[in-house]
Structure 1
Amino acid sequence: MTNKKKILIETLHGSVAQLNELSSMTEGIDVYDAAGYVDTEFLMEALSCVNTFVNASNTVVQKISSLLAPDASTDEKKKQDEGKKWSVEEILKHCTLEDGVLKLPQVQFNKKSYAEAKKWIEEAGGSWQGGKIQGFTFPFNPERIFSILKEGKRCNLQQDYQFFETPTDVADWLVMLAGGIHEDDTVLEPSAGRGALIKAIHRACPSVTVECYELMPENREFLHTLSNVILLDEDFTKDSVGSYTKIIANPPFSGNQDIEHVRLMYERLEEGGTLAAITSQHWRFASTEKKCIDFRNWLKEVHGEVFEISAGEFKESGTSISTMAVVIKK
């Protein structure tokens, strides 16, 4: 073993020992300050350091693993670069839509060109299907999306519409937190997506009618096919008509939209009614944002309850952001 290798091993042993020592230092520590409030300064600083540790550890693992799998040979790299070096815009311009399936042009692209085109199509909701299909399928009518892609424009549905579908287990749990659904309930779903929460509501009470809003055109088209559903309009935040005994929602998170939606839901709630909404955890820990501070104070005034949602519950929907459920009875 060379001197350089010995130094590396000794350093790694020292790092492991320090991490073990840090682990023992967490015993007896909680996340609350002397006044009983969450010590956000400590929590955010600790999480930031842990994240840095993890990133550094991953880098070391990749570096050492690369010793076992050195870079591809020059010939292999040349092979990967073979094929047409079309831009994403060129590829999409020559795509076709056949019976709802997006087909790539019959050209042998190089690896990078294909990967970039595939990413754009997947952002727009497409999924590659091999076998007899050999194209990208969509869970909705893709004509509008296809026309946008053909123009060489990006169409990231999750970014544009904040569409992260609620998993079935979480949806059923949220309906339970709202106190269940009964035939005489008036029910609102303010950002319905493709109806994950509506389906959970109907699993609890098939006969109840659910009124809803939805921004994304493809989702609105799908919602029209569901029974006992009334699609009121596109944007819930631009309407103030109607009151409900149950409001169940998974609103968009970016820019504190989630807490804005919750406050608007409360205004549309009848006396004695209950709302249950999924939110991010950002408002809970933001110590300098007035909107978040005001929301925390307001939540106490209306006796709102907060329930944790396990990390990773929305992974299949395309996000790993931490979430929680807010429940308020008016």
Structure 2
Amino acid sequence: MRIRIYRGVGTAHLEINPEIAYRLNNVLASLYPMAIPAKFRSRPKSKSKTFKLMERPLPFAVLRLLEAGGVGRNEAGGTWEFSLSYSGKDEGKHALRETERVLESIGGVPSKYGFTFDFNPTAVLNAIRISGCIPDAASFQFYPTPSPVAEAAFEMLGADRPEDIYLEPSAGIGGLAGLLPADRTTCVEISGLRCDVLRARGFQAHKADFIEWAAAQRAGSTRWSKCLMNPPFADGRALAHVREASTLVQAGGRLVAILPASRRGKDLLEGWEGEWSGVFSNEFAGTGVKVAIYAATRL
């Protein structure tokens, strides 16, 4: 229940959750049958959940550091280097650390002179400079897959065959997709900025909410032989994403998903033969989440 007070007119409204209100109306109707219309005694239709995606504005000091830095090609290593230009006076240590986090969030790896990328990050950095924002990690459910978990999931996917085509829902910046053959992998990612990263790394990336994208794909004929995924966990989305992904896997195909450990041991997909890994604890930076890997073959 919630009380909303209107101070200007001196009234207060008592609001009751619709799931409770229709039950209370049924109680009242048993006492006063003619007082409560039938439409107020019926269970309300459940509304589909929507999840607000938010961008996080960056401080001007961080944007100045990103603007001042330079991108160069390391011909010997086949990588790209972003060098930070830092005076230590105007920006401050906090701005420097925030800039480092931004570079890490788009795939940069700290190096001696700055950050190393396995792709040319120029276009992605320009997009950040222009918008002044990066996707908020919590609302976008972006928690990059740690290497030990990613490699264990990849192992459970099975040996690669030339005819295999791969699907990676909620691909992020390619923590899992990077283990797959880029020319045979379809990535789906809701963040436009991270789609730019995926494309720069050589992947076919679709900017879309995976649930909506999967519904559209079911009307087509394409079915993937293998699916590797780390779906969003919040609000029960993990199981919903797994079930949607399963509809896009061909008969005899394989699906491997990183899921909350609370799901471990459960049979999640009807008509599939599944197995579980052990539990991984404290692998995801900044969270205490425990996960387990679910691997299943479509019968």
Fold shared, TM-score > 0.5 on shorter chain: yes
Q: 1:225 to 1:122 in 2, by over 3 A?
A: closer
Matches for 1:57-72 after TM superposition, within 5 Å:
none
Cα displacement (A) at 1:191: 2.0
Q: Which amino acid aligns with 1:312?
A: N
Describe the SS at the equivalent of 1:213.
strand
Cα displacement (A) at 1:246: 0.7
Matches for 1:296-315 after TM superposition, within 5 Å:
296=266, 298-299=268-269, 302-315=272-285
Distance in 2 (alpha carbons) for counterparts of 1:147 and 1:194: 20
Q: Which amino acid aligns with 2:241?
A: H
Root-mean-square deviation (CA), in Å? 3.7
Cα displacement (A) at 1:328: 1.6
Q: 1:250 to 1:210 in 2, by over 3 A?
A: same
Q: In the alignment, which residue of structure 1 is the partner of 2:257? A: 277
Distance in 2 (alpha carbons) for counterparts of 1:297 and 1:180: 24
Describe the SS at the equivalent of 2:155.
helix
5+ residue gaps, structure 2, are 1-57, 72-82
Find the partner of 1:224 among 165, 183, 199.
199
Q: In the alignment, which residue of structure 2 is the partner of 1:254? A: 234
Distance in 2 (alpha carbons) for counterparts of 1:129 and 1:298: 39
1:206-240 deviation per Cα after TM superposition (whole angstroms, max 9, x unaligned) = 8x61111122333322322345x422443322123
Cα displacement (A) at 1:173: 2.5
Distance in 1 (alpha carbons) for counterparts of 2:280 and 2:138: 23
Q: In the alignment, which residue of structure 1 is the partner of 2:102? A: 124
Q: In the alignment, which residue of structure 1 is the partner of 2:223? A: 243
Q: Is the 8 A contact 2:195 2:206 kept in 1?
A: no
Q: Is the 8 A contact 1:178 1:275 kept in 2?
A: yes
Q: In the alignment, which residue of structure 1 is the partner of 2:161? A: 182
Q: Which amino acid aligns with 1:322?
A: K
- Could you say which structure has the higher strand fraction? 2
Distance in 2 (alpha carbons) for counterparts of 1:283 and 1:248: 17
Q: 1:103 to 1:237 in 2, by over 3 A?
A: farther
Q: Is the 8 A contact 2:276 2:292 kept in 1?
A: yes
Mapped pair 1:326 → 2:294: yes
Describe the SS at the equivalent of 1:142.
helix
Cα displacement (A) at 1:102: 6.7
Q: Percent identity?
A: 21
Q: 1:176 to 1:89 in 2, by over 3 A?
A: closer
Mapped pair 1:165 → 2:144: yes
Cα displacement (A) at 1:118: 4.8
Find the partner of 2:184 among 209, 215, 236.
209
1:78-130 deviation per Cα after TM superposition (whole angstroms, max 9, x unaligned) = xxxxxxxxxx9564576661236676787457xxxx46545654553468989
Describe the SS at the equivalent of 2:282.
coil
Distance in 2 (alpha carbons) for counterparts of 1:201 and 1:96: 31
Describe the SS at the equivalent of 2:127.
helix
Q: 1:283 to 1:116 in 2, by over 3 A?
A: farther
Q: Is the 8 A contact 2:264 2:276 kept in 1?
A: no
TM-score normalised by structure 1 residue count: 0.53
Q: Which amino acid aligns with 1:239?
A: W
Q: In the alignment, which residue of structure 1 is the partner of 2:170? A: 191
Distance in 1 (alpha carbons) for counterparts of 2:111 and 2:154: 38
Cα displacement (A) at 1:298: 4.1
In the comparison of the two structures, how many residue pairs are matched?
215
Q: 1:231 to 1:321 in 2, by over 3 A?
A: same
Cα displacement (A) at 1:251: 1.7
Q: Which amino acid aligns with 1:177?
A: M
